[in-house]
A = this chain, B = another copy of it.
Amino acid sequence: MHNFSLLHDDLMDGDETRRHRATAWTVFGPAQAILVGDALATLGTEVLLDAATTGGTSPTDAARAVRLLNTASRRLIDGQAMDVAFEQRDTVTVAECLEMEGGKTAALLAAASALGAVLAGADDRAADSLQRFGEHLGLAFQAVDDLLGIWGATEVTGKPHWGDLRQRKKSLPVAAALAEGGAASRELAEQLADPKGRGEESETELAARALLIEKAGGRAWTQEEARRQHTTALAALDEVPMPDVVREHFVALAEFVVVRER
């Protein structure tokens, strides 16, 4: 499902590379790339069903796992649809942006964090806590992703320079900067409302726009948001009893998400 989302995302964004590798649609064409994503999604469901026939999972738990993945897919699709719809708009609120990112990213990490436990027969309470861990971790991940999308080093992220700004992506730093309401915020809003020059801005203009977002507090707010979500994720993890060695892995994963540079 991760690949399914990424494939659609790459295609919609027109990204020709991701992490220094050519994206699937540039190699196989858009039609086949979309089909590969769909195929991976069906394979995911099959793996979960197989746990009941070849693993020790009960049919009831396999059905729970399929529902968990399926619900995540629906939220992911919904988030992606919101992202596409936002492209037609000049501005979005922080709440709308968080809802979109909750679907596009957090739903996936929530399901991924709980699936193993569900297959092993965990009760609903433990599964819910693990889902909340993944949900908040996903929001932290996306906040960091949005920061890297503007201020990340291209040679590290493998994404095109100023790509998010060039596409006028409605990411968290932008939404937070627009919400701030000061002089820099208002100038940013004016630029984004101007249909002229869309997609044709120079490197200098885009660098100036990144500075406006920073001046309006969008960068600091998003950094703080990533830390808040990280803390909330760890609190959810504390609710679930598990061996120390397993908890250390979860904590290290959460740490990686907020300190990564790509």
A residues adjacent to B (C-beta < 8 A)? 4, 8, 12, 29, 31-32, 34-35, 38-39, 41-43, 45-46, 49, 52, 58-60, 62-63, 66-67, 70-71, 73-74, 77-78, 80-81, 84-85
Contacts and interface: CB of A to CB of B under 8 A. Distances in A.
28 contacts: A4-B38, A8-B31, A8-B34, A8-B35, A12-B31, A29-B84, A31-B84, A32-B84, A34-B34, A38-B38, A38-B73, A39-B74, A39-B77, A39-B78, A42-B73, A42-B74, A42-B77, A43-B74, A46-B67, A46-B71, A49-B63, A49-B70, A52-B63, A59-B59, A59-B60, A59-B62, A59-B63, A62-B63
Q: Which 6 A-B pairs have the closest CB atoms?
A: A59-B60, A59-B59, A42-B73, A31-B84, A39-B77, A35-B81
Contacts of A41: 38, 41
A228 to B, nearest CB: 30
Contacts of A59: 58-60, 62-63
A261 B58 CA distance: 48
A204 B226 CA distance: 64
A62 B61 CA distance: 12
A4 B73 CA distance: 15
The interface centre, meaning the residue of A12, A38, A84 with most chain B CB atoms within 10 A of its CB, is: A38
